[in-house]
Structure 1
Amino acid sequence: MPFAVYALGLAVFAQGTSEFMLSGLLSDIATDLHVSIPAAGLLTSAFAVGMIVGAPLTALFSRNWPRRSALVFFLCVFCAAHVVGALTPGYGLLLATRVVGALANAGFWSVALVTAVSLAGPGARARATSVVVGGVTLACVAGVPAGALLGGHWGWRAAFWAVALVSVPAVLVIARSVPAGRPESEPVPVRAELRALAAPRPLLTLLTMALVQGATFCAFSYVEPLATRVTGLDPAWVPGLLALFGAGSFLGVTAAGRLADGRPVAFTSGGLVALVAGWAAFAPASGNTYATVAFVLVMGMLAFGTGTALISWVFRLAPDAPTLAGSFATAAFNVGAALGPWLGGLAIDAGLGFRAPLWVSALLTALALAPALRVMAGARAGAGAGANAGAPAA
């Protein structure tokens, strides 16, 4: 795997820390800015909305840029947004910085995914994707718990300063390691890319991704109040619990990198079924400390393993969308990331308790099964036709 792919993973580590760290800071932010916990949870949704809008727009905006220049630009804007966020006196401005940071993050992801896949080659799509997404899981293991610890000792603003500082070496590494060349001299027309992504199987895959990510963020955004108010854990345990989720996520991404290229249908469909069962079982068991610890690890593994496989499916099913495939995958994931915390917050505000987001996660994943099974059936049919024709399976 080219070193530049790992450099992209380093940058995603800083960005993933920002995206997920609010899960351990909700109570602190709500108290400091005088808002409710569901309102603080909407900061995650605001970030996701910025990613949704920003992914296709920034991909088109930087379409003809040298990829290295685009990556460095987006990462610098992301860093600046966190400096402003650390200094903001009120909720409104913090919300705005989350959107700006998300726009930059979306642009980076869109270019990074395409760059990683192109550098690795078509036979290693899932492996290259797993390295980039692995930056997020390492953020969950180290960055997010570190942010929670910083927030616990010096306030939530210290976590924002830390993200900005970590982004600086990432900029330097990318500037030195990513090739400076431009994209193809004659890029695929935008309309042709949109037609490729609007085909039934890529479109259903994007829908599946949105639902699965919605389930992940719905549950993960409210881990801190679930652990402290339902399970009964001391707040000091929260960073360790977040790290455990990250460890499970890393295991899932690693498994996807090793297995999803060779057995994409079995890996993805099995992961989806396991996710439905896992979220449904976690909800009634969350009052038990040992069960909560075990489920946090297992659900992190299943969610990120399946999610990584779904990203590789988009590139597999839409090879004629080299610029927009990564951006649409990013947007689809963040449709779910915006929807999940909002639905979880609605359930909490309705008086259903802090277990309710887990039930919502189970429902969202169950809804993802229908489009996913149709995509998988098409993949099996294509594989059978390819074998009969003496051609390799799709």
Structure 2
Amino acid sequence: MPLGLLALAVGGFGIGLTEFVIMGLLPEVAADFAVSETVAGYLISGYAIAVAVGAIGLTAAVIRLDRKKVLVGLMGLFIAGNLLSALAPTYELLLAGRILAALCHGAFFGIGAVVATSMVAPDRRAGAIAMMFAGLTSANVLGVPFGTFLGQQLGWRSTFWAITVIGVVALVGIVALVPATADDAVPPRLRAELRAFREPQVWWSILVTVLGFGGMFGGFTYIAYTLTEVSGFASSTVPWLLVVFGSGLFVGNYLGGKAADRSITRTLLVLLAVLTVVLAVFALTATSQVVTVVSLFFMGAFGFATVPGLQLRIMGHAAGAPTMASAANIAAFNVGNALGAWVGGLTIGAGLGYLSPLWAGAGITLVALVALLVATGIERRGQDGDGAGKAPASVRGAQVEVG
């Protein structure tokens, strides 16, 4: 394993921690700044919006620059944002720090995915992406519980100081371990990168990402209510149950990368089909605490196992210009998060109960499966027709088997 992948994973760990740990610290932050829970919640929604904006806008702005230098700059931006959060004397400056850190999120993972795949052989590229995203999943399993505990014991600012230190470690690692761009490499041009969006399969990939990830988050966003109001768990056990979910993310990410290196389409079809079933079974059996724990693990595992394949699919169809497409797919993950949360909230607001987000998630995931089947059919007809169809991704930019 190239050590540069480890440096990217550390960066992913810090970014994942920044994104998710605030959920466990909202009561302390709200009390410190004397704001309502709703206003404190803007620290989450504002971050998500900034991720999507940064994934597209910031990536477009730096597309001509050396990728390693861009990653270094993005990590510097991340450190600055968390340092501002740790020192913020007002709620508004804390929100500004969150947004500043979030701007680097999408661009870091989008560009980082391209850099990660360049460090390994073509048949290990999904695994390389999975390694980078392992930092994000580790943040859920280990970082969020520890960060929440640290913030509750020493004050919420201590958590942001710890994240700042992690950012510095990642920065040093990227500088020392990530290989520089070859001197003879031609820097990508924004116009060429944008031309990748003329390829219909790029848009199909984005759609599948939004729906596939949105389905899992449709069930997950309101999982605390399901666990306490339906399954009968005490509120104090919810953080530890979320560790079970995070463990599923970690395992699924690793195995999903291994499987996608063999066949992206087959892997995604199986994963989306099984995830649909898992969400439905979870909804049917949520009154059983034992089955609920098992369902939590598998919801995380099969949900996040799709990530390496979804990311590599769009890069494979980007016609040798994968950077903007990769960043757009990171934005699509966050759009999926918002979509799942919105639909799940609608079902609860309609009086359908705390199981309804799981059923909504299953429905969204089923639509993702149908979309992938349609996209695969269109792609194969183009390849088997009069020869005018696009070449398979195995002979284009990402050099992977999509079929």
TM-score per shorter chain, which class?
A: 0.7 to 0.9
Instruction: Please tell me whether the aligned partners of residues 205 and 371 of structure 1 are also in contact (alpha carbons under 8 angstroms).
Output: no
TM superposition shift of 1:69: 2.0
**Partners of 1:352 and 1:375 in 2: how far apart?**
33
**Partners of 2:252 and 2:178 in 1: how far apart?**
26
Instruction: Please tell me whether the aligned partners of residues 56 and 331 of structure 2 are also in contact (alpha carbons under 8 angstroms).
Output: yes
TM superposition shift of 1:78: 1.3
TM superposition shift of 1:186: 3.2
**Are positions 1:106 and 2:123 aligned together?**
no
**Partners of 2:55 and 2:240 in 1: how far apart?**
32
**Are positions 1:259 and 2:259 aligned together?**
yes
Instruction: Please tell me whether the aligned partners of residues 120 and 128 of structure 2 are also in contact (alpha carbons under 8 angstroms).
Output: yes
Give the letter for the 1:207 counterpart: L
**Partners of 1:211 and 1:335 in 2: how far apart?**
9
**Partners of 2:36 and 2:121 in 1: how far apart?**
47
2:78 corresponding residue in structure 1: 78
TM superposition shift of 1:194: 2.0
2:291 corresponding residue in structure 1: 291
**Partners of 1:143 and 1:280 in 2: how far apart?**
29
**Partners of 1:163 and 1:355 in 2: how far apart?**
35
TM superposition shift of 1:4: 0.6
**Partners of 1:322 and 1:199 in 2: how far apart?**
12
Q: What is the correspondence of 1:272-351 to structure 2 with a 5 Å cutoff?
A: 272-349=272-349, 351=351
TM superposition shift of 1:345: 4.0
**Are positions 1:153 and 2:136 aligned together?**
no
1:215-268 CA distance string (max 9 Å, x none): 333433333444344433334323322221121111111112211121222211
**Partners of 2:320 and 2:177 in 1: how far apart?**
27
1:368 corresponding residue in structure 2: 368
Change (3 A) 1:316 1:176: same
1:180-200 CA distance string (max 9 Å, x none): 336865334433322223311
1:269 corresponding residue in structure 2: 269
**Partners of 1:114 and 1:263 in 2: how far apart?**
19
1:166 corresponding residue in structure 2: 166
TM superposition shift of 1:313: 0.7
Instruction: Please tell me whether the aligned partners of residues 144 and 239 of structure 1 are also in contact (alpha carbons under 8 angstroms).
Output: no
**Partners of 1:6 and 1:105 in 2: how far apart?**
17
TM superposition shift of 1:165: 2.4
Instruction: Please tell me whether the aligned partners of residues 224 and 238 of structure 2 are also in contact (alpha carbons under 8 angstroms).
Output: yes
TM-score (norm 2): 0.85
**Partners of 1:169 and 1:306 in 2: how far apart?**
29
Instruction: Please tell me whether the aligned partners of residues 67 and 183 of structure 1 are also in contact (alpha carbons under 8 angstroms).
Output: no
Higher relative contact order (CA 8 A, sep 6+): 1
Change (3 A) 1:310 1:115: same
* Two-structure CA RMSD over aligned residues (Å): 3.0
**Partners of 1:184 and 1:196 in 2: how far apart?**
23
**Partners of 2:98 and 2:34 in 1: how far apart?**
18
Instruction: Please tell me whether the aligned partners of residues 83 and 97 of structure 2 are also in contact (alpha carbons under 8 angstroms).
Output: no
Instruction: Please tell me whether the aligned partners of residues 11 and 171 of structure 2 are also in contact (alpha carbons under 8 angstroms).
Output: yes
Give the secondary structure class of the aligned counterpart of 2:305: helix
Q: 128-137 or 336-345, which moves further after superposition? A: 336-345
TM-score (norm 1): 0.87
Give the secondary structure class of the aligned counterpart of 2:119: helix
1:187 corresponding residue in structure 2: 187
4+ long deviations beyond 6 Å = 382-386
**Partners of 1:372 and 1:90 in 2: how far apart?**
46
Change (3 A) 1:158 1:188: closer
Change (3 A) 1:34 1:341: farther
Give the letter for the 1:280 counterpart: A
